[in-house]
Each structure stands twice: as structure tokens, then as C-alpha cells.
Amino acid sequence: MRIIPVIAFCICTATSFTQNINVTFRSVLSYQGQNLANVWGYSDASGNEYALVGAKQGMSIVDVTNPDNPTEIVQIPGAFSNWHEIKTFQHYAYVVSEG
């Protein structure tokens, strides 16, 4: 019975170290004075890629089609909250918050 927690610990530790393999840092987009809680990806019909970012003041839509030059398209105001979780369904983005 004592071996099960040891095995679980080893599996969890191994997966936490491998999450950064084959990841290349390309650029940064700063949000002055805001906490960020969530990021979700979306691709439109033309193949453009967007990052939907949950920021403290709402949702930020960032064009990441060129990952070396991300461009914030718009910041949609929302409830002033530390948590804005985002998911997409078809062509809609749903943002939820506890605020």
C-alpha cells in the first residue's frame, strides 16, 4: 500500500517537468496593472489565430497569427475580477467570472 503514493508522486513529478519540452519563447505582450487568469485559442475561417486572454478588467483579444509580433485587437470590458475564464463554441466566446 505504501508504494501507491510513491508511484503517484513519481508520475506527477515527471509530467510537471516535461511540460516545457519543445516550447520556444517567441514574444511577450504586457498588461500593465492587470492580473491574467486564463488564455484560450481560437482560429477563424481564414486561418488567423487569436489568443483570448482573461484579464482583470475583461477579455483581451490578441492576434497571434504572427507569433513574433502579437497585436491586441480589442479589450472587452467585463466585471472587475481576478478571474475571467474563457471557452469557445463555434464562433462564440463565452467569458465567465465570479465578479
* Structural domain contains residue 77: yes
- pTM for the predicted model, two decimal places: 0.74
Residue type, position 24, single letter: T
Q: Can you give 46-98 as a three-state secondary structure string?
A: CCCEEEEEEECCEEEEEECCCCCCCEEEEEEECCCCCCCEEEEECCEEEEECC
* Structural domain contains residue 10: no
Give the pLDDT score at 15. Answer: 60
Domain count, the chain: 1
* Structural domain contains residue 26: no
* Structural domain contains residue 12: no
Q: Is 74 helix (H, G, I), strand (E, B) or coil?
A: strand
Give the pLDDT score at 51. Answer: 95
Give residue-wise pLDDT tens across range 2-39.
777 777 766 666 566 666 667 788 898 888 888 888 89
* Structural domain contains residue 19: no
* Structural domain contains residue 43: yes
Q: 475571467: which residue's cell?
A: 84
Give the pLDDT score at 17. Answer: 61
* Structural domain contains residue 62: yes
* Structural domain contains residue 74: yes
Cell of 48: 488567423
Q: Which domain holds residue 76?
A: 34-99
Q: 16-55: string of b/e by CB count within 10 Å (b at 16+)? A: eeeeeeeeeeeeeeeeeebeebbebebeeeeeeebbbbbb
